[in-house]
Chain A
Protein backbone atom coordinates (compact mmCIF):
# COMPACT_ATOMS: atom_id res chain seq x y z
CA UNK A 1 0.00 0.00 0.00
CA UNK A 2 1.40 3.35 -1.00
CA UNK A 3 1.73 6.03 1.66
CA UNK A 4 1.20 8.96 -0.69
CA UNK A 5 -2.31 10.28 -0.16
CA UNK A 6 -4.32 13.46 0.23
CA UNK A 7 -4.32 15.22 3.58
CA UNK A 8 -8.06 14.53 3.80
CA UNK A 9 -7.44 10.78 3.49
CA UNK A 10 -4.52 10.85 5.92
CA UNK A 11 -6.60 12.61 8.58
CA UNK A 12 -9.59 10.35 7.93
CA UNK A 13 -7.51 7.18 8.26
CA UNK A 14 -5.03 8.09 10.98
CA UNK A 15 -6.63 10.68 13.26
CA UNK A 16 -9.45 9.41 15.44
CA UNK A 17 -11.66 11.21 17.96
CA UNK A 18 -9.98 11.16 21.35
CA UNK A 19 -6.49 10.59 19.92
CA UNK A 20 -3.33 12.03 21.41
CA UNK A 21 -1.53 14.09 18.74
CA UNK A 22 1.89 15.66 18.59
CA UNK A 23 1.75 18.55 16.13
CA UNK A 24 5.16 19.84 15.05
CA UNK A 25 6.23 23.40 14.29
CA UNK A 26 7.73 26.50 15.85
CA UNK A 27 6.46 29.41 13.70
CA UNK A 28 8.66 27.30 11.46
CA UNK A 29 6.65 24.59 9.62
CA UNK A 30 3.31 24.35 11.46
CA UNK A 31 1.36 21.68 9.52
CA UNK A 32 -1.54 24.01 8.70
CA UNK A 33 -2.90 21.95 5.80
CA UNK A 34 -3.56 19.10 8.24
CA UNK A 35 -4.79 21.44 11.00
CA UNK A 36 -7.47 22.79 8.66
CA UNK A 37 -8.42 19.27 7.60
CA UNK A 38 -8.83 18.16 11.24
CA UNK A 39 -11.19 21.10 11.76
CA UNK A 40 -13.02 20.40 8.49
CA UNK A 41 -13.57 16.77 9.52
CA UNK A 42 -14.75 17.97 12.95
CA UNK A 43 -12.45 15.69 14.92
CA UNK A 44 -13.15 15.91 18.62
CA UNK A 45 -11.83 15.24 22.12
CA UNK A 46 -8.22 15.39 20.94
CA UNK A 47 -5.28 15.67 23.30
CA UNK A 48 -2.66 17.87 21.64
CA UNK A 49 0.90 18.73 22.50
CA UNK A 50 4.06 20.54 21.49
CA UNK A 51 6.34 23.17 23.03
CA UNK A 52 5.54 26.78 22.16
CA UNK A 53 2.14 26.47 20.57
CA UNK A 54 0.73 29.24 18.41
CA UNK A 55 -2.11 30.13 16.03
CA UNK A 56 -2.55 26.53 14.84
CA UNK A 57 -3.31 25.26 18.37
CA UNK A 58 -5.46 28.32 19.06
CA UNK A 59 -7.54 27.49 15.98
CA UNK A 60 -8.02 23.83 16.98
CA UNK A 61 -9.12 24.95 20.45
CA UNK A 62 -11.49 27.60 19.08
CA UNK A 63 -12.99 25.07 16.65
CA UNK A 64 -13.84 22.76 19.55
CA UNK A 65 -11.59 19.87 18.48
CA UNK A 66 -9.58 19.78 21.70
CA UNK A 67 -10.28 18.25 25.07
CA UNK A 68 -6.81 18.29 26.58
CA UNK A 69 -3.62 20.22 25.96
CA UNK A 70 -0.20 19.25 27.28
CA UNK A 71 1.27 22.71 27.11
CA UNK A 72 4.27 24.87 27.76
CA UNK A 73 3.20 28.15 26.20
CA UNK A 74 0.72 29.51 23.69
CA UNK A 75 0.49 32.93 22.10
CA UNK A 76 0.08 34.61 18.73
CA UNK A 77 3.69 35.82 18.95
CA UNK A 78 3.90 39.35 17.66
CA UNK A 79 0.11 39.61 17.96
CA UNK A 80 -0.11 38.87 21.65
CA UNK A 81 -2.28 36.50 23.64
CA UNK A 82 -4.03 33.57 21.96
CA UNK A 83 -7.68 34.64 21.82
CA UNK A 84 -9.50 31.31 21.45
CA UNK A 85 -7.32 29.77 24.14
CA UNK A 86 -8.16 32.61 26.55
CA UNK A 87 -11.87 32.29 25.82
CA UNK A 88 -11.66 28.58 26.49
CA UNK A 89 -9.85 28.92 29.81
CA UNK A 90 -11.54 32.10 31.07
CA UNK A 91 -15.10 31.57 29.80
CA UNK A 92 -15.39 27.96 28.69
CA UNK A 93 -16.08 28.93 25.05
CA UNK A 94 -16.57 26.68 23.10
CA UNK A 95 -15.50 24.39 25.97
CA UNK A 96 -13.04 24.60 28.83
CA UNK A 97 -10.06 22.54 27.81
CA UNK A 98 -8.02 20.69 30.41
CA UNK A 99 -4.42 21.79 30.71
CA UNK A 100 -1.32 20.05 31.91
CA UNK A 101 1.54 22.54 32.02
CA UNK A 102 5.24 21.93 31.54
CA UNK A 103 8.13 23.96 30.09
CA UNK A 104 10.24 24.21 26.95
CA UNK A 105 12.86 22.04 28.64
CA UNK A 106 10.76 19.39 30.35
CA UNK A 107 8.28 18.73 27.52
CA UNK A 108 10.93 18.19 24.80
CA UNK A 109 12.75 15.85 27.18
CA UNK A 110 9.53 13.92 27.88
CA UNK A 111 9.10 13.48 24.12
CA UNK A 112 12.74 12.44 23.84
CA UNK A 113 12.12 9.85 26.56
CA UNK A 114 9.08 8.60 24.64
CA UNK A 115 11.11 8.35 21.45
CA UNK A 116 13.82 6.36 23.21
CA UNK A 117 11.50 4.00 25.06
CA UNK A 118 12.58 5.34 28.45
CA UNK A 119 9.86 5.26 31.15
CA UNK A 120 10.62 8.76 32.47
CA UNK A 121 13.27 11.43 32.40
CA UNK A 122 14.93 13.59 35.07
CA UNK A 123 14.39 17.32 34.51
CA UNK A 124 16.21 20.07 36.35
CA UNK A 125 13.62 22.83 35.95
CA UNK A 126 10.12 23.40 37.42
CA UNK A 127 11.20 22.68 41.01
CA UNK A 128 10.15 25.18 43.65
CA UNK A 129 7.61 26.93 41.42
CA UNK A 130 3.83 26.80 41.16
CA UNK A 131 4.16 24.52 38.13
CA UNK A 132 4.55 21.81 40.80
CA UNK A 133 1.30 22.80 42.47
CA UNK A 134 -0.98 22.45 39.46
CA UNK A 135 -1.90 18.97 38.38
CA UNK A 136 -4.73 18.25 36.03
CA UNK A 137 -5.62 15.11 34.08
CA UNK A 138 -2.23 13.50 34.66
CA UNK A 139 -2.75 13.83 38.39
CA UNK A 140 0.11 12.53 40.55
CA UNK A 141 1.75 11.26 37.41
CA UNK A 142 2.53 14.75 36.16
CA UNK A 143 5.89 14.39 37.87
CA UNK A 144 7.50 12.71 40.88
CA UNK A 145 10.18 13.91 43.23
CA UNK A 146 12.66 11.14 43.94
CA UNK A 147 16.02 10.86 45.61
CA UNK A 148 18.75 10.22 43.11
CA UNK A 149 19.64 6.52 43.47
CA UNK A 150 23.26 7.57 42.95
CA UNK A 151 23.84 10.39 45.41
CA UNK A 152 20.59 10.92 47.27
CA UNK A 153 19.95 14.46 45.95
CA UNK A 154 16.34 15.42 45.15
CA UNK A 155 15.46 14.95 41.48
CA UNK A 156 12.28 15.66 39.58
CA UNK A 157 11.31 13.02 37.05
CA UNK A 158 8.64 13.47 34.40
CA UNK A 159 6.90 10.71 32.43
CA UNK A 160 7.72 9.80 28.84
CA UNK A 161 5.08 10.85 26.30
CA UNK A 162 3.95 8.52 23.52
CA UNK A 163 1.42 10.26 21.29
CA UNK A 164 -0.81 8.13 19.06
CA UNK A 165 0.09 10.14 16.01
CA UNK A 166 2.53 12.89 15.10
CA UNK A 167 1.74 15.34 12.32
CA UNK A 168 4.72 17.27 11.00
CA UNK A 169 5.40 19.52 8.02
CA UNK A 170 8.87 19.32 6.45
CA UNK A 171 10.63 20.49 3.32
CA UNK A 172 10.76 17.13 1.54
CA UNK A 173 10.09 13.44 1.86
CA UNK A 174 10.32 10.44 -0.40
CA UNK A 175 7.18 8.43 -1.06
CA UNK A 176 7.97 5.99 1.76
CA UNK A 177 8.20 8.80 4.31
CA UNK A 178 11.92 9.41 4.82
CA UNK A 179 11.26 12.97 5.93
CA UNK A 180 13.90 15.68 5.56
CA UNK A 181 13.89 18.92 7.50
CA UNK A 182 16.30 21.80 7.88
CA UNK A 183 16.27 25.04 9.85
CA UNK A 184 14.88 25.73 13.33
CA UNK A 185 13.70 22.45 14.77
CA UNK A 186 11.70 23.19 17.94
CA UNK A 187 10.74 19.76 19.30
CA UNK A 188 9.67 18.37 15.90
CA UNK A 189 12.19 15.55 15.58
CA UNK A 190 11.58 14.21 19.09
CA UNK A 191 7.82 14.60 18.92
CA UNK A 192 7.71 12.74 15.61
CA UNK A 193 9.85 9.91 16.92
CA UNK A 194 7.93 9.69 20.21
CA UNK A 195 4.68 8.98 18.37
CA UNK A 196 3.48 5.52 17.41
CA UNK A 197 2.86 6.67 13.84
CA UNK A 198 3.68 9.75 11.80
CA UNK A 199 1.86 11.73 9.14
CA UNK A 200 4.41 13.60 7.04
CA UNK A 201 3.19 16.68 5.22
CA UNK A 202 5.85 18.12 2.90
CA UNK A 203 6.54 20.90 0.44
CA UNK A 204 7.63 18.40 -2.18
CA UNK A 205 7.87 14.65 -2.64
CA UNK A 206 11.31 13.71 -3.89
CA UNK A 207 12.93 10.47 -5.00
CA UNK A 208 14.71 8.08 -2.66
CA UNK A 209 17.84 8.98 -4.62
CA UNK A 210 17.45 12.68 -3.73
CA UNK A 211 17.07 11.82 -0.05
CA UNK A 212 20.30 9.85 -0.33
CA UNK A 213 22.19 12.92 -1.55
CA UNK A 214 22.02 14.40 1.95
CA UNK A 215 20.76 11.73 4.36
CA UNK A 216 21.81 13.64 7.52
CA UNK A 217 18.72 15.81 7.07
CA UNK A 218 16.28 12.94 7.56
CA UNK A 219 14.55 13.36 10.94
CA UNK A 220 12.16 10.44 10.82
CA UNK A 221 12.68 7.15 8.96
CA UNK A 222 10.15 5.64 6.57
CA UNK A 223 9.12 2.74 8.83
CA UNK A 224 7.53 5.12 11.37
CA UNK A 225 5.53 6.94 8.71
CA UNK A 226 2.01 5.94 7.70
CA UNK A 227 1.13 8.76 5.31
CA UNK A 228 2.95 11.24 3.07
CA UNK A 229 1.02 14.23 1.81
CA UNK A 230 2.44 16.77 -0.63
CA UNK A 231 1.26 20.21 0.47
CA UNK A 232 3.17 23.12 -1.07
CA UNK A 233 2.67 26.29 1.02
CA UNK A 234 1.32 23.84 3.60
CA UNK A 235 2.67 25.69 6.65
CA UNK A 236 1.25 29.10 5.70
CA UNK A 237 0.91 31.53 7.54
CA UNK A 238 3.95 30.03 9.23
CA UNK A 239 7.09 29.60 7.18
CA UNK A 240 9.24 26.84 5.72
CA UNK A 241 12.97 27.63 5.35
CA UNK A 242 13.96 27.71 1.70
CA UNK A 243 10.33 27.97 0.56
CA UNK A 244 8.44 30.96 1.97
CA UNK A 245 8.43 33.59 4.70
CA UNK A 246 6.08 34.19 7.62
CA UNK A 247 2.92 36.00 6.52
CA UNK A 248 2.60 38.82 9.02
CA UNK A 249 -0.38 40.39 7.23
CA UNK A 250 -2.35 37.16 7.50
CA UNK A 251 -1.24 36.82 11.13
CA UNK A 252 -2.84 40.16 11.82
CA UNK A 253 -5.99 39.07 9.98
CA UNK A 254 -6.26 36.04 12.28
CA UNK A 255 -5.65 38.14 15.38
CA UNK A 256 -8.41 40.58 14.43
CA UNK A 257 -10.81 37.79 13.46
CA UNK A 258 -10.20 35.73 16.59
CA UNK A 259 -10.90 38.70 18.86
CA UNK A 260 -14.56 37.63 18.85
CA UNK A 261 -16.39 34.31 18.58
CA UNK A 262 -18.26 35.60 15.51
CA UNK A 263 -15.09 36.82 13.84
CA UNK A 264 -13.39 33.51 14.49
CA UNK A 265 -16.34 31.58 13.06
CA UNK A 266 -16.35 33.79 9.96
CA UNK A 267 -12.62 33.17 9.58
CA UNK A 268 -13.16 29.39 9.70
CA UNK A 269 -16.07 29.67 7.26
CA UNK A 270 -13.87 31.54 4.81
CA UNK A 271 -10.48 29.82 5.13
CA UNK A 272 -11.31 26.31 6.35
CA UNK A 273 -14.91 25.30 5.58
CA UNK A 274 -15.11 27.57 2.52
CA UNK A 275 -12.36 25.70 0.68
CA UNK A 276 -12.18 22.00 0.00
CA UNK A 277 -8.43 21.56 0.25
CA UNK A 278 -5.09 23.37 0.23
CA UNK A 279 -5.20 24.03 -3.51
CA UNK A 280 -8.45 25.94 -3.12
CA UNK A 281 -6.98 27.68 -0.08
CA UNK A 282 -4.06 28.97 -2.13
CA UNK A 283 -6.41 29.99 -4.94
CA UNK A 284 -8.54 31.88 -2.45
CA UNK A 285 -5.45 33.53 -1.00
CA UNK A 286 -4.32 34.72 -4.42
CA UNK A 287 -7.82 35.92 -5.30
CA UNK A 288 -8.08 37.88 -2.10
CA UNK A 289 -4.58 39.33 -1.73
CA UNK A 290 -3.26 39.18 -5.30
CA UNK A 291 -0.56 37.12 -6.92
CA UNK A 292 2.10 39.71 -6.12
CA UNK A 293 1.55 39.23 -2.38
CA UNK A 294 1.70 35.42 -2.77
CA UNK A 295 4.88 35.78 -4.79
CA UNK A 296 6.39 38.16 -2.24
CA UNK A 297 6.28 35.44 0.42
CA UNK A 298 8.18 32.94 -1.73
CA UNK A 299 11.82 32.50 -0.73
CA UNK A 300 14.65 33.35 -3.05
CA UNK A 301 16.54 30.12 -3.66
CA UNK A 302 20.09 30.20 -2.41
CA UNK A 303 21.61 26.74 -2.71
CA UNK A 304 25.14 27.95 -2.09
CA UNK A 305 26.83 24.82 -0.94
CA UNK A 306 26.41 21.16 -1.65
CA UNK A 307 27.56 18.49 0.74
CA UNK A 308 29.71 15.62 -0.39
CA UNK A 309 29.37 12.25 1.32
CA UNK A 310 31.97 10.62 -0.93
CA UNK A 311 34.76 8.48 0.45
Chain B
Protein backbone atom coordinates (compact mmCIF):
# COMPACT_ATOMS: atom_id res chain seq x y z
CA UNK B 1 0.00 0.00 0.00
CA UNK B 2 1.16 3.49 -0.77
CA UNK B 3 1.93 6.09 1.84
CA UNK B 4 0.03 9.33 1.65
CA UNK B 5 1.95 12.39 2.79
CA UNK B 6 -0.47 14.90 4.31
CA UNK B 7 1.27 18.15 3.42
CA UNK B 8 -0.10 18.41 -0.12
CA UNK B 9 -2.02 21.32 -1.59
CA UNK B 10 -5.25 20.97 -3.58
CA UNK B 11 -3.69 21.60 -7.03
CA UNK B 12 -1.25 18.75 -6.33
CA UNK B 13 -4.14 16.43 -5.55
CA UNK B 14 -5.89 17.51 -8.77
CA UNK B 15 -2.73 16.87 -10.79
CA UNK B 16 -2.54 13.38 -9.26
CA UNK B 17 -6.21 12.71 -10.06
CA UNK B 18 -5.42 13.62 -13.68
CA UNK B 19 -2.37 11.35 -13.70
CA UNK B 20 -4.45 8.37 -12.57
CA UNK B 21 -6.65 8.70 -15.65
CA UNK B 22 -3.71 8.17 -17.99
CA UNK B 23 -2.86 4.65 -19.11
CA UNK B 24 0.51 3.31 -20.08
CA UNK B 25 1.17 3.94 -23.76
CA UNK B 26 -1.40 6.74 -24.07
CA UNK B 27 -0.72 9.56 -26.49
CA UNK B 28 -1.66 12.74 -24.69
CA UNK B 29 -2.16 16.24 -26.03
CA UNK B 30 -1.25 18.66 -23.27
CA UNK B 31 -1.43 22.35 -22.59
CA UNK B 32 0.54 23.93 -19.78
CA UNK B 33 0.06 23.63 -16.04
CA UNK B 34 -2.16 20.79 -14.82
CA UNK B 35 -2.15 18.71 -18.03
CA UNK B 36 1.64 18.62 -18.30
CA UNK B 37 2.02 17.87 -14.60
CA UNK B 38 -0.60 15.12 -14.68
CA UNK B 39 0.82 13.46 -17.76
CA UNK B 40 4.34 13.59 -16.38
CA UNK B 41 3.33 12.23 -12.97
CA UNK B 42 1.80 9.32 -14.86
CA UNK B 43 5.04 8.83 -16.81
CA UNK B 44 7.08 8.75 -13.61
CA UNK B 45 4.71 6.31 -11.90
CA UNK B 46 2.40 3.85 -13.63
CA UNK B 47 2.57 4.94 -17.28
CA UNK B 48 6.24 5.25 -18.34
CA UNK B 49 5.34 4.77 -22.00
CA UNK B 50 2.75 7.58 -22.15
CA UNK B 51 3.81 10.18 -24.72
CA UNK B 52 3.08 13.88 -24.80
CA UNK B 53 2.53 16.30 -27.64
CA UNK B 54 1.76 20.04 -27.83
CA UNK B 55 -0.59 21.36 -30.50
CA UNK B 56 1.95 23.96 -31.64
CA UNK B 57 3.85 21.13 -33.31
CA UNK B 58 5.94 19.26 -30.73
CA UNK B 59 6.07 15.53 -30.03
CA UNK B 60 7.88 14.04 -27.01
CA UNK B 61 9.55 17.25 -25.79
CA UNK B 62 12.25 17.07 -23.13
CA UNK B 63 12.10 20.58 -21.67
CA UNK B 64 14.79 21.65 -19.21
CA UNK B 65 12.36 24.00 -17.44
CA UNK B 66 8.55 23.91 -17.05
CA UNK B 67 6.97 25.21 -20.25
CA UNK B 68 4.93 28.39 -19.74
CA UNK B 69 2.99 27.95 -22.98
CA UNK B 70 2.51 25.32 -25.66
CA UNK B 71 4.82 27.39 -27.85
CA UNK B 72 7.54 27.78 -25.18
CA UNK B 73 11.13 27.82 -26.52
CA UNK B 74 12.16 25.13 -24.02
CA UNK B 75 10.02 22.60 -25.91
CA UNK B 76 12.28 22.76 -28.98
CA UNK B 77 15.66 21.27 -28.08
CA UNK B 78 15.50 17.54 -27.47
CA UNK B 79 12.01 16.85 -28.85
CA UNK B 80 11.54 13.71 -30.93
CA UNK B 81 9.68 15.55 -33.68
CA UNK B 82 8.71 19.12 -34.44
CA UNK B 83 6.21 20.17 -37.05
CA UNK B 84 3.25 22.47 -36.71
CA UNK B 85 -0.51 22.51 -36.24
CA UNK B 86 -1.17 20.46 -39.37
CA UNK B 87 1.05 17.68 -37.99
CA UNK B 88 -0.33 17.59 -34.44
CA UNK B 89 -3.96 18.61 -34.95
CA UNK B 90 -4.28 17.22 -38.46
CA UNK B 91 -2.15 14.10 -38.78
CA UNK B 92 -2.26 12.91 -35.17
CA UNK B 93 -5.51 14.24 -33.68
CA UNK B 94 -7.81 14.20 -36.71
CA UNK B 95 -5.99 11.08 -37.87
CA UNK B 96 -7.31 9.36 -34.75
CA UNK B 97 -4.08 8.72 -32.85
CA UNK B 98 -4.65 10.83 -29.76
CA UNK B 99 -5.90 8.96 -26.70
CA UNK B 100 -6.19 11.74 -24.15
CA UNK B 101 -6.75 15.48 -24.26
CA UNK B 102 -6.97 17.85 -21.33
CA UNK B 103 -9.43 20.72 -21.35
CA UNK B 104 -10.39 23.56 -19.07
CA UNK B 105 -12.81 26.43 -19.45
CA UNK B 106 -14.53 29.40 -17.94
CA UNK B 107 -17.88 27.61 -17.99
CA UNK B 108 -18.65 23.89 -18.09
CA UNK B 109 -22.03 22.19 -18.09
CA UNK B 110 -23.36 18.84 -16.88
CA UNK B 111 -22.68 17.19 -20.25
CA UNK B 112 -19.06 18.37 -20.22
CA UNK B 113 -19.61 21.06 -22.85
CA UNK B 114 -17.10 23.86 -22.45
CA UNK B 115 -17.29 27.59 -23.08
CA UNK B 116 -14.09 29.54 -23.78
CA UNK B 117 -15.69 32.03 -26.18
CA UNK B 118 -17.98 34.48 -24.45
CA UNK B 119 -19.81 35.24 -21.21
CA UNK B 120 -23.20 36.77 -22.00
CA UNK B 121 -24.73 37.06 -25.48
CA UNK B 122 -22.32 36.53 -28.38
CA UNK B 123 -23.17 39.82 -30.09
CA UNK B 124 -22.95 41.95 -26.95
CA UNK B 125 -20.72 40.05 -24.56
CA UNK B 126 -20.23 40.77 -20.88
CA UNK B 127 -16.82 39.28 -21.26
CA UNK B 128 -15.07 38.22 -24.42
CA UNK B 129 -12.83 35.17 -23.88
CA UNK B 130 -9.99 33.86 -26.10
CA UNK B 131 -11.99 31.43 -28.27
CA UNK B 132 -11.53 27.79 -29.21
CA UNK B 133 -7.90 27.48 -30.21
CA UNK B 134 -7.23 23.76 -30.04
CA UNK B 135 -9.97 23.01 -27.53
CA UNK B 136 -12.82 22.25 -29.93
CA UNK B 137 -10.87 19.73 -32.03
CA UNK B 138 -9.42 18.08 -28.92
CA UNK B 139 -12.90 17.74 -27.39
CA UNK B 140 -14.26 16.46 -30.70
CA UNK B 141 -11.55 14.00 -31.63
CA UNK B 142 -9.44 12.81 -28.67
CA UNK B 143 -10.61 9.40 -27.47
CA UNK B 144 -10.92 10.56 -23.86
CA UNK B 145 -11.02 14.12 -22.60
CA UNK B 146 -10.18 15.10 -19.05
CA UNK B 147 -11.74 18.33 -17.85
CA UNK B 148 -10.20 20.52 -15.16
CA UNK B 149 -12.62 22.93 -13.48
CA UNK B 150 -13.18 25.23 -10.54
CA UNK B 151 -16.04 23.94 -8.46
CA UNK B 152 -18.50 26.77 -7.96
CA UNK B 153 -21.85 27.83 -9.34
CA UNK B 154 -20.24 30.30 -11.75
CA UNK B 155 -17.74 27.99 -13.43
CA UNK B 156 -20.13 25.09 -13.54
CA UNK B 157 -23.45 25.77 -15.22
CA UNK B 158 -26.67 23.97 -16.01
CA UNK B 159 -26.20 25.32 -19.53
CA UNK B 160 -23.15 27.16 -20.86
CA UNK B 161 -23.58 30.54 -22.61
CA UNK B 162 -21.77 29.19 -25.67
CA UNK B 163 -20.63 25.68 -26.58
CA UNK B 164 -17.08 26.19 -27.81
CA UNK B 165 -15.99 22.60 -27.23
CA UNK B 166 -18.23 19.57 -27.43
CA UNK B 167 -18.77 17.36 -24.43
CA UNK B 168 -21.82 15.17 -24.88
CA UNK B 169 -23.68 18.18 -26.41
CA UNK B 170 -27.37 17.79 -25.50
CA UNK B 171 -27.05 14.25 -24.21
CA UNK B 172 -27.12 10.62 -25.34
CA UNK B 173 -26.62 10.05 -29.08
CA UNK B 174 -25.75 13.68 -29.89
CA UNK B 175 -22.06 13.15 -30.67
CA UNK B 176 -22.91 10.18 -32.87
CA UNK B 177 -25.58 12.18 -34.69
CA UNK B 178 -22.97 14.79 -35.65
CA UNK B 179 -20.55 12.15 -36.84
CA UNK B 180 -17.96 12.54 -34.07
CA UNK B 181 -15.80 9.41 -33.75
CA UNK B 182 -17.50 6.56 -31.85
CA UNK B 183 -16.58 6.13 -28.22
CA UNK B 184 -15.05 9.59 -27.79
CA UNK B 185 -16.04 12.20 -25.21
CA UNK B 186 -15.34 13.45 -21.71
CA UNK B 187 -14.13 10.79 -19.31
CA UNK B 188 -13.87 12.74 -16.10
CA UNK B 189 -14.19 16.19 -14.61
CA UNK B 190 -11.64 16.98 -11.92
CA UNK B 191 -12.42 19.99 -9.74
CA UNK B 192 -10.91 21.45 -6.60
CA UNK B 193 -13.65 19.69 -4.62
CA UNK B 194 -14.38 16.43 -6.38
CA UNK B 195 -13.99 13.92 -9.15
CA UNK B 196 -17.04 13.55 -11.40
CA UNK B 197 -17.60 10.96 -14.11
CA UNK B 198 -20.11 10.81 -16.92
CA UNK B 199 -23.01 8.36 -16.75
CA UNK B 200 -22.90 5.79 -19.55
CA UNK B 201 -26.60 6.16 -20.31
CA UNK B 202 -27.55 9.75 -19.49
CA UNK B 203 -24.07 11.25 -20.32
CA UNK B 204 -24.53 13.53 -17.32
CA UNK B 205 -21.71 14.16 -14.81
CA UNK B 206 -22.19 12.45 -11.44
CA UNK B 207 -20.19 12.56 -8.23
CA UNK B 208 -17.69 9.75 -7.86
CA UNK B 209 -15.51 11.07 -5.04
CA UNK B 210 -15.15 14.19 -2.93
CA UNK B 211 -11.71 15.45 -1.95
CA UNK B 212 -10.50 15.19 1.66
CA UNK B 213 -11.92 18.17 3.55
CA UNK B 214 -15.02 18.34 1.36
CA UNK B 215 -18.22 16.30 1.55
CA UNK B 216 -21.09 15.06 -0.59
CA UNK B 217 -23.25 17.88 0.79
CA UNK B 218 -20.76 20.58 -0.04
CA UNK B 219 -20.17 19.29 -3.57
CA UNK B 220 -23.91 19.01 -4.23
CA UNK B 221 -24.40 22.55 -2.95
CA UNK B 222 -21.64 23.95 -5.18
CA UNK B 223 -23.01 22.24 -8.29
CA UNK B 224 -25.68 24.22 -10.16
CA UNK B 225 -27.52 21.18 -11.53
CA UNK B 226 -29.16 18.39 -9.57
CA UNK B 227 -26.00 16.35 -9.12
CA UNK B 228 -26.43 12.59 -9.01
CA UNK B 229 -24.25 10.79 -6.53
CA UNK B 230 -22.65 7.40 -7.14
CA UNK B 231 -23.82 4.53 -4.90
CA UNK B 232 -20.25 3.93 -3.87
CA UNK B 233 -19.28 7.58 -3.47
CA UNK B 234 -16.11 7.90 -1.40
CA UNK B 235 -13.31 10.21 -0.43
CA UNK B 236 -10.71 10.86 -3.18
CA UNK B 237 -7.46 9.03 -2.54
CA UNK B 238 -4.91 11.64 -1.46
CA UNK B 239 -1.64 11.97 -3.41
CA UNK B 240 0.58 8.92 -3.03
CA UNK B 241 4.14 9.31 -1.89
CA UNK B 242 5.56 8.36 -5.31
CA UNK B 243 3.26 10.83 -7.07
CA UNK B 244 4.30 13.66 -4.79
CA UNK B 245 7.95 12.72 -5.18
CA UNK B 246 7.71 12.85 -8.99
CA UNK B 247 5.99 16.21 -8.77
CA UNK B 248 8.27 17.92 -6.27
CA UNK B 249 11.63 16.35 -7.00
CA UNK B 250 11.53 16.08 -10.78
CA UNK B 251 8.72 18.00 -12.42
CA UNK B 252 8.15 21.10 -10.35
CA UNK B 253 10.99 21.64 -7.87
CA UNK B 254 10.09 25.34 -7.53
CA UNK B 255 6.47 24.39 -6.86
CA UNK B 256 5.06 26.71 -9.49
CA UNK B 257 1.86 24.72 -9.03
CA UNK B 258 1.11 27.03 -6.08
CA UNK B 259 -0.03 29.61 -8.63
CA UNK B 260 -3.27 27.61 -8.92
CA UNK B 261 -4.09 28.29 -5.28
CA UNK B 262 -4.20 31.99 -6.17
CA UNK B 263 -6.58 31.15 -9.01
CA UNK B 264 -9.03 29.61 -6.58
CA UNK B 265 -8.05 25.94 -6.65
CA UNK B 266 -8.22 25.52 -2.87
A: residues with CB less than 8 A from B are: 26-28, 51-52, 71-75, 77-78, 81-82, 85-86, 89-90, 101-106, 108-109, 112, 123-131, 134, 153-155, 182-190, 239, 241, 245-246, 248, 302
**How many Å lie between the Cα of A185 and that of B129 in the bound state?**
25
Question: Does B164 contact A105, Cβ atoms closer than 8 Å?
Answer: no
B: residues with CB less than 8 A from A are: 54-58, 68-69, 71-73, 75-77, 82-87, 89-90, 93-94, 113, 117, 122, 125-137, 140-141, 162-166, 169, 174-175, 177-181
Question: Does B129 contact A184, Cβ atoms closer than 8 Å?
Answer: no
Question: Does B82 contact A131, Cβ atoms closer than 8 Å?
Answer: no
Question: Does A184 contact B163, Cβ atoms closer than 8 Å?
Answer: no
- Cβ contacts under 8 Å, A154 to chain B: 178-179
Question: Does A77 contact B56, Cβ atoms closer than 8 Å?
Answer: no
Question: Does A128 contact B178, Cβ atoms closer than 8 Å?
Answer: yes
Nearest residue, chain A, Cβ from B71: A27
Question: Does B69 contact A108, Cβ atoms closer than 8 Å?
Answer: no
Nearest-neighbour CB distance to chain A for B227, whole angstroms, equals 24
Which of the residues B71, B87, B128 comes within 8 Å of A89, measured between beta carbons? B128
29 chain-A/chain-B pairs, Cβ below 8 angstroms: A26-B84, A27-B56, A27-B72, A72-B131, A74-B130, A89-B125, A103-B133, A103-B135, A104-B133, A105-B85, A105-B94, A105-B141, A123-B94, A124-B94, A124-B180, A125-B136, A126-B140, A128-B169, A130-B122, A130-B164, A183-B82, A184-B58, A185-B57, A185-B85, A186-B85, A187-B84, A187-B85, A190-B84, A302-B77
**How many Å lie between the Cα of A124 and that of B93 in the bound state?**
10
**How many Å lie between the Cα of A86 and that of B118 in the bound state?**
10
- Cβ contacts under 8 Å, A155 to chain B: 179
Question: Does B166 contact A188, Cβ atoms closer than 8 Å?
Answer: no
**How many Å lie between the Cα of A112 and that of B165 in the bound state?**
23
- Cβ contacts under 8 Å, A125 to chain B: 94, 136-137, 140-141
**How many Å lie between the Cα of A82 and that of B131 in the bound state?**
11
Nearest residue, chain B, Cβ from A245: B73
- Cβ contacts under 8 Å, B174 to chain A: 128
**How many Å lie between the Cα of A27 and that of B32 in the bound state?**
14
Which of the residues B55, B132, B135, B165 comes within 8 Å of A101, measured between beta carbons? B132
Question: Does B125 contact A26, Cβ atoms closer than 8 Å?
Answer: no
Nearest residue, chain A, Cβ from B95: A124
Which of the residues A72, A112, A124, A153 comes within 8 Å of B132, measured between beta carbons? A72
- Cβ contacts under 8 Å, B87 to chain A: 185
Question: Does B180 contact A105, Cβ atoms closer than 8 Å?
Answer: no
Nearest-neighbour CB distance to chain B for A55, whole angstroms, equals 12
Question: Does B163 contact A185, Cβ atoms closer than 8 Å?
Answer: no
- Cβ contacts under 8 Å, B166 to chain A: 127-129
Nearest-neighbour CB distance to chain A for B67, whole angstroms, equals 10
- Cβ contacts under 8 Å, B72 to chain A: 27, 246
Nearest-neighbour CB distance to chain B for A90, whole angstroms, equals 6
Question: Does A101 contact B141, Cβ atoms closer than 8 Å?
Answer: no
Which of the residues A77, A153, A241 comes within 8 Å of B179, measured between beta carbons? A153
Which of the residues B84, B86, B141, B163 comes within 8 Å of A124, measured between beta carbons? B141
Nearest-neighbour CB distance to chain B for A116, whole angstroms, equals 11
A26 touching B122 in the complex, CB below 8 Å, given contacts A85-B128, A125-B137, A128-B175: no
Nearest-neighbour CB distance to chain B for A112, whole angstroms, equals 6
**How many Å lie between the Cα of A78 and that of B85 in the bound state?**
20
- Cβ contacts under 8 Å, A90 to chain B: 125-128
**How many Å lie between the Cα of A53 and that of B57 in the bound state?**
15
**How many Å lie between the Cα of A26 and that of B85 in the bound state?**
10
Question: Does B162 contact A103, Cβ atoms closer than 8 Å?
Answer: no
